[in-house]
Amino acid sequence: MSNYVIHACPKRLWYVEEFLVPSLKEQGIENIDVRCDNFKRGNLLYCMDIFGRMTGDGGSWHIQDDVIICRDFAQRTAKYDGKNEIVCGFAWDKDPNIDKIDYVQQSDMWYSFPCIYIPNYIAKECSEWFFNKGRYDGRYLSFSVKGQFDDYFFQKYLMEYYPELPILHIKPSLVDHIDYLIGGTTVEAIGRDEISRAKWFDDPDLVNQLKERLKYRNG
C-alpha cells in the first residue's frame, strides 16, 4: 500500500491539519505522513530532504499543501500501488505539454509536484544525486540558488539516470491547486499566472464548498 506524503510549510499547516488530512481520511486513507518545513529550509531543499527519507518497497504519493483532492482520490490512486513508474496526477492548465496524455518521455513530463507518485527508491536516489552533485552542476546552478524548482531537478535527474522509466500522465487531475484561497503562493511564481489551476479537475463543486468553509472558518 502506498504512503501519502504531504509536503507542508508552517504558513499552511493549518490548512493541512484542518482540511487536507481530514479529506484524505474521509476517503479511508490512513497512511498519511505530514512533513513540515519547520526550519524553513525552503521548497527545494526540503523536498529533496523528504525524498531522501523514503524507504521500503513500493512508492509514495507526494502531495503539496495547497491542493484539494477529488472525491474519488483514494480509489484512483490505489490503482498504482507498487508500480515502478512515475504517475503525474496534476496537470497545470498552462503546461506546454498539456495535450500529451498517457505514457510520455521524460522531456515531456508535466510539472506535477502538487500530486505525483514516485517509487521510493527513485525519490531516495534523486535526493542523493541532488545533494552530492545536481545542485552544484553548472547547468542547473541558476536554479538551485533560488531554492525552488524541485520538479525541474527531478525531471533532469530522470532524464539522465532513468530515461526509459515510464512516465504516466493521467486525466482528469487528481487534485486542484487552491493556493489563492489560502493566502497565495509562498514562492515567486516565475513565468506563471497569479492563479495556477488544474486542467480537467472534475469536482469544481468541492472547490466551491471549500470556499464557503474557509469563509466560515475565517469569520
Render pLDDT for 16-66 as a digit per residue (tens, 0 to 9). Answer: 999 999 999 999 999 999 999 999 899 999 999 999 999 989 999 999 999
Closest CA to 9 of 155, 150, 144, 132: 150
Which residues make Cβ contacts (< 8 Å) with residue 97, sequence separation at least 6? 104, 108, 109, 110
Dist. CA 54–CA 47, nearest whole Å: 11
Residue 27's domain spans which residues? 3-218
Instruction: State yes or no: pLDDT of 215 exceeds 60.
Output: yes
CATH number at residue 60: 3.90.550
Dist. CA 78–CA 100, nearest whole Å: 23
DSSP-derived pairing of the beta strands 32-36 and 115-119:
unpaired
Dist. CA 39–CA 48, nearest whole Å: 14
Q: Residues 144-195: pLDDT tens digits?
A: 777 789 999 999 999 999 999 999 999 999 999 999 999 865 444 434 445 6
Closest CA to 2 of 30, 37, 39: 30
Predicted confidence at residue 72, as pLDDT, reads 98
- Structurally, how many domains does the chain consist of? 1
Predicted confidence at residue 194, as pLDDT, reads 52
Q: What is the mean pLDDT of the chain?
A: 92
Predicted confidence at residue 185, as pLDDT, reads 59
Give me the percent of the chain exceeding a pLDDT of 90.
Answer: 81
How much is the average pLDDT of 1-28?
Answer: 96
Instruction: State yes or no: pLDDT of 117 exceeds 60.
Output: yes
Residue with the bigger pLDDT between 148 and 215: it is: 215
How much is the average pLDDT of 113-121?
Answer: 97
Q: What is the largest CA-CA distance in the chain?
A: 51
Phi, psi of 87 (to 5 degrees): -120, 115
